[in-house]
Amino acid sequence: MPGEGFLKTKDVMKPEMIGKEVMLRGWVYRKRHIGAKIFIVLRDSEGIIQCLVVKNEVDEKTWEEAEKITRESSFMVKGIVREDPRAPGGYELKVTWLRIVGLSDVFPIRGGEGIDYLLDKRHLWIRSRKLTAIMKIKHSVLKAAREYLVRNGWWEVTPPIITASACEGGATLFEMKYFDRKAYLSQSAQLYLEALIFSLEKVWSLTPSFRAEKSRTRRHLAEYWHLELEGAWYHMEDMMKVSEELVSYIVKRVLEERSEELEFLKRDKVMLERALEIPYPRIKYDEAIEILQRKGFRIEWGEDLGADEERALTEEFETPFFITHFPKQIKAFYMKLDPQRPDVVLGFDMLAPEGYGEIIGGSEREDSYEKLLQRIHELGLDPKEYEWYLDLRRYGSVPHSGFGLGVERLVMWISGIDHIRDTIPFPRFRERVYP
């Protein structure tokens, strides 16, 4: 980083730094002017520290700058570190020199604003300590995922974002102009990953996925980050094992690296510690229906689980858990039918506890050309759209499985926050693409 000699707040707030003169730079988090004293709380990427400017103990220019400085202005400051229980965090800087870098206009966010206003000012709200903490957690989630996958021999690949056809659920695709034709923004890299396993065997990708669903819930984004895996020779059970190892590893690393941020967000770490132990519980769809019926839900075998049902199930567990073997009519065409029981698919969802719900969806894929074609017909899809995908079953087909993880859903659960919009810097919903 340019500018030698500047320290970070976290490097300064230590017993061994007491009495030393240090230089810091950052932004004004809070300012309070009391007579001949000015308290300026400095915020940098690592935290906050209170700076005290006393009128008769600094040069005239420094005092003028301190009087003039406004909330969220950027500035540089020099001072002596000291301990003081009255300062937030227990340490403060007795200022000897201070200069404004960029004077801030009146900052439009002060606290107590409504959500719509805050979303309009997202580019400014993004610097809040809460969102900063969540973004750091997300960083650790992605880093941990990559660590796990690299260590276990998974190849990272880069599938396309622009696609020619529908794959699954054509109604929820974003259409775009592609030269003089139509194309779509990708909803999933899965089909492309399937093509890549024939050489690399174990592949994964991290891409944005786009869903033009008109959903209005706290768990949906129109643009989200999708972590997808696909493995040749993997059967459903093998892939479930990979998914729980991955999730428990991510949780472990976040607990190690982001303890401070979890505390700032008041996340109950005990709930996360429970997720370290694998395997996670597994129930079949049939059992899920029985549990729900016992709880008084009016749901019949064959119906998809709604939000209330899903929430009720997550209350039965204290760790993430799997639901498997769904009726084929509620799942996608590419899922392999259970050879023991052809009315259900070899599919699995991983649900996070505490009401957070689905974070992973995966399955073993249908590897037989004939059966896949039959499923396409059964579901009224156009085989022409899937010609290249069907080809994969004609040239050395292999049993294989995969899953997709919604990064923001995982971050939401790990962070313990109540709305997915805060897991992504600039959330996209149906009613919002600005800023």
Partner RNA sequence: GCCGGGGUAGCUCAGCGGUAGAGCGCCGGGCUGUUAACCCGGUGGUCGGGGGUUCAAAUCCCCUCCCCGGCGCCA
User: Which residues are at the interface with RNA (CB under 7 A)?
Assistant: 30, 32-37, 39, 50, 52, 54-56, 71, 84, 86-88, 92, 106, 108, 110-117, 119, 169, 172, 188, 211, 213-222, 224, 226, 304, 306-310, 330, 349, 357-361, 404-406, 408-409, 419-420, 429, 431-432
Q: How far is the CB of 313 from RNA (least distance, A)?
A: 11
Residue 4 vs 300, nearer CB to RNA: 300
Q: Which is nearer to RNA, 256 or 418 (CB)?
A: 418
202-210 and 91-102 strand pairing: unpaired
Give me the least distance between CB of 350 and RNA, in Å please. 7
For residue 70, the minimal CB distance to RNA (Å) is: 7
Closest approach of RNA to the CB of residue 134, in Å: 15
User: Of 172 and 257, which CB lies nearer to RNA in the complex structure?
Assistant: 172
Nearer to RNA, 88 or 399 (CB): 88
The least CB distance from residue 30 to RNA, in Å, is 4
Q: Which amino acid is at 114?
A: G
Min CB(196)–RNA separation in Å: 19
The nearer residue to RNA, 5 or 35, going by C-beta atoms, is: 35
68 or 269: CB nearest RNA = 68
**Residue 271's CB: how many other CB atoms inside 10 A?**
17
Tokens encoding 306 = 């709604």
Task: Choose between 15 and 114: whose C-beta lies nearer to RNA.
Answer: 114
CB of 79 to RNA, least distance (A): 11
